[in-house]
């Protein structure tokens, strides 16, 4: 089972660092202090980069009861769950294939012209690393290595190399994640009907 320490050790290995961490709370070494400092930023940055199936959660949100000011009259404010990195597209039934519902994000809330409860799907930061896909772990390790490169190696070239590696890893993770889901059905109407192909 992969842990946060495994992600950190992979990042250190990418930078040819001999140190191996065993405890995520250990701040007795420079690498431990840097990993602990950069990990929350790296985790959220990687999670925000895609609609990862392995870290997607569902929730039913209640309205907060406070009126929405200005041009947003008629909209209701729904506070996001505390572990939400970002909401996915909203739909009337909360499903990925449901009829879309427009929304606006304002701080840690969604403004929606809908009544409670609001069913959402979102990317969660609370899913343990051992539930992440291998490609997502590789992307997180590569991005962490980018942040660690200059402080640990003193080389901007290592930072640049790891930035390219992180971008490639994120693209691969997105492709693999997309392949793990069933493609949505084509909605009736539109150009297929106009061409007589349905």
Q: Which tens digit of pLDDT belongs to each residue from 73-119?
A: 678 889 999 999 999 988 877 777 777 888 889 889 998 888 888 89
Quote the CA–CA distance of 168 and 79 in Å, as a whole number. 34
The H-or-E segment that residue 175 falls in is helix 156-179
DSSP element (H, E) containing 45? helix 30-48
Look at the pTM and tell me if it is higher than 0.85. no
State yes or no: pLDDT of 68 exceeds 90: no
3-state secondary structure of 44: helix
Predicted confidence (pLDDT) at residue 52 exceeds the cutoff of 60: yes
Query: For residue range 126-151, what is the model confidence (pLDDT) as tens digits?
Result: 999 999 999 999 999 999 999 999 99
The size of the chain, in residues, is 198
pLDDT in tens, 178-190: 877 665 555 556 6
Average confidence (pLDDT) over 55-60 = 94
CA 82, 26, 10 angle in degrees (round to 5)?
80
Residue ranges of the domains in the chain? Answer: 4-50+132-179, 55-124
pLDDT confidence of residue 197: 59
36-46: burial string, b at 16+ Cβ within 10 Å, e else: bebbeebbebb
Residue 18: what pLDDT? 86
């Amino acid at each position: 089972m992969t842990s946060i320490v495994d992600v950190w050790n992979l990042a250190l290995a990418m930078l040819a660092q001999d140190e191996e961490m065993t405890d995520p709370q250990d701040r007795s070494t420079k690498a431990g202090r840097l990993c602990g400092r950069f990990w929350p930023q790296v985790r959220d940055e990687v999670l925000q980069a895609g609609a990862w199936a392995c870290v997607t959660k569902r929730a039913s949100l209640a309205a907060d009861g406070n009126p929405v000011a200005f041009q947003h009259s008629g909209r209701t404010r729904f506070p996001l769950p505390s572990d939400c990195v970002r909401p996915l597209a909203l739909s009337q039934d909360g499903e990925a294939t449901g009829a879309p519902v427009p929304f606006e994000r304002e701080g840690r809330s969604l403004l929606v012209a809908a009544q409670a409860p609001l069913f959402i799907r979102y990317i969660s930061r609370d899913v343990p690393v051992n539930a992440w896909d291998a490609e997502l772990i590789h992307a997180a390790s590569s991005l962490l290595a980018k942040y660690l490169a200059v402080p640990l190696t003193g080389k901007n070239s290592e930072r640049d190399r790891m930035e390219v590696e992180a971008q490639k890893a994120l693209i691969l993770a997105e492709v693999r994640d997309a392949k793990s889901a069933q493609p949505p059905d084509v909605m009736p109407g539109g150009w297929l009907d106009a061409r007589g192909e349905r």
